[in-house]
Structure 1
Amino acid sequence: MGEMVTADRTGVFVADTDGERDDAFTVRQSVFVDEQGVDQDLEYDEYDEPGADATHFVAYAEGEPIGAARLRSASDVDLPPGSSDRSVGKVERVAVAADRRGNGWGRRLMDAVETHAREVRFDLLTLHAQTHVRGFYERFGYEAHGEEFEEAGIPHVAMNKTLDGGG
């Protein structure tokens, strides 16, 4: 039997149940498809399928889903020189509902993602940041590399962060 999300549940959680994953997808739909105009076929991919090798995160405020993120192995991404022998994770689909931005939810999501990444022994994280939120990721120690590029019709920049063993 699936876990019910209680009305007072607040925080960031690994989306272990179908309901929690659906809640994460609801936030992504609202932010990326409805708000930013990303084509639904581009927003959802093979890493969203049940059983895919990806970890989904969902943020709740008083039981309402208000944030989402995804972490997966990044064997398929371009890495900076000297990184080929590292265990690399890719942070994707980080989203916070429009009416909840500026209240620390993005930080809480990234803290949860990075904690999990350390637990599964990733030592480098990579992501494609929309250029207008580049500064958000820089505050967490991510460094941009390469030229700006377009993804889903939106300007992005590739960023990396080396994880230490601590929290």
Structure 2
Amino acid sequence: MKRTEFRFFDRLRVRWAEIDAQKIVFNAHYLMYFDTAVAGYWRALALPYAQTMESLGGDLYVRKATVEYHGSARYDDQLEIGMRCGRIGNSSLLFEGAVFRGDEPLINGELVYVFADPHTQTSRPVPQSLRDVLQGFEAGQGMVDVRVGGWEELGREASAIRTAVFVEEQRIPAEMEWDVADASCVHAVAYNRFGLPLATGRLLQHVPGVAKIGRMAVSQSLRGSGVGRHVLEALMKAARARGDREVLLHAQSSAAPFYSRAGFAPRGPEFEEAGIPHIEMVRAL
């Protein structure tokens, strides 16, 4: 297999615990690499796996796994695991994977899953909605739809995401999360192909010509998938459209690298908001 045959790659670095007495990656670990890549593949589809399977009334069970070895990875190698959905049958899915060190293919693998009733483990037809998402991704289609609008239109979904992330996960007091600005802000919510809301953020006017982005939140299982970047870009686009020349935000310090990759630069010292370290970051529009 060639790298060009894959749209999705999962990246890893070989750990000491994964090599054997021959000082190469122990053969069984490649199945773990493929399984980890499959989990990343679902995130690339913007599908939280457990929630998606529950909504479809089924689950995926491995029927067959094969690995073909062409070369060996060694400690500290940086590897990329390509993963794709190669075929969809009536009730089965074939995932094809390959392990690359740079452009060098080391390992090929196939995982055959059967879509089945989770209680009886009897096979069921692959739902058309899931089939459409898989085929759409492999055809290069986008997996996320970002809607921009007011609180009356998007507030219910935005509120649910922010409650889960800020109030329940980060334990920010609810009275600090909600304010009167929500009613007048521009909001953005990202949805997957099943219409499930995944991420949100809001845009307000800081001073004339300067926009402020805040309340950026991504559902836990979709972090690192790129869905937050879609929301950020939609809010910056809305700011440009109304004539703002600069955008600022108060980033949680742990999220500063995410905003740096989007072109934001830190300004000023670190400070605390709601007991969490933050840094102000800015970007020209």
Q: Does 1:89 pair with 2:232?
A: no
Superimposed CA distance per residue, residues 39-73 of structure 1 (whole angstroms, 9 cap, x where no aligned partner)? 11111111123xx2x10111111211111000000
Q: Does 1:66 pair with 2:188?
A: no
- C-alpha contact 1:13 1:58 (8 A) present in aligned 2: yes
Q: Does 1:113 pair with 2:245?
A: no
- C-alpha contact 2:200 2:231 (8 A) present in aligned 1: yes
- C-alpha contact 2:144 2:227 (8 A) present in aligned 1: no
* Secondary structure, aligned partner of 1:125: strand
Q: Which residue of 2 aligns with 1:81?
A: none
Give the TM-score, by structure 1 length.
0.81
* Secondary structure, aligned partner of 1:128: strand
Q: Using the alignment, how far apart are the partners of 2:150 and 2:144 within structure 1? A: 16
How far did 1:17 drift?
6.4
Deviates more, 1:8-17 or 1:59-68: 8-17
Q: When the two structures are aligned, how many residues end up with a matched partner?
A: 144
- C-alpha contact 1:131 1:156 (8 A) present in aligned 2: yes
Q: Does 1:20 pair with 2:154?
A: yes
* Residue type of the alignment partner of 1:66: L
Q: Does 1:43 pair with 2:174?
A: no
5+ residue gaps, structure 1, are: 1-6, 76-85
Greater Rg, structure 1 or structure 2? 2
- C-alpha contact 1:10 1:63 (8 A) present in aligned 2: no
Cα distance change, pair 94–17 in 1 and its aligned pair in 2 (3 A): closer
Q: Does 1:136 pair with 2:258?
A: yes
How far did 1:16 drift?
4.0
Q: Using the alignment, how far apart are the partners of 1:36 and 1:139 within structure 2? A: 24
5+ residue gaps, structure 2, are: 1-128, 134-142
Q: Which residue of 1 aligns with 2:103?
A: none
Superimposed CA distance per residue, residues 15-56 of structure 1 (whole angstroms, 9 cap, x where no aligned partner)? 34635211011101111111111111111111123xx2x101
Greater relative contact order: 1 or 2 (C-alpha under 8 angstroms, separation 6 or more)?
1
Give the root-mean-square deviation of aligned CA atoms: 1.8
* Residue type of the alignment partner of 1:71: L
- C-alpha contact 2:151 2:182 (8 A) present in aligned 1: no
How far did 1:125 drift?
0.2
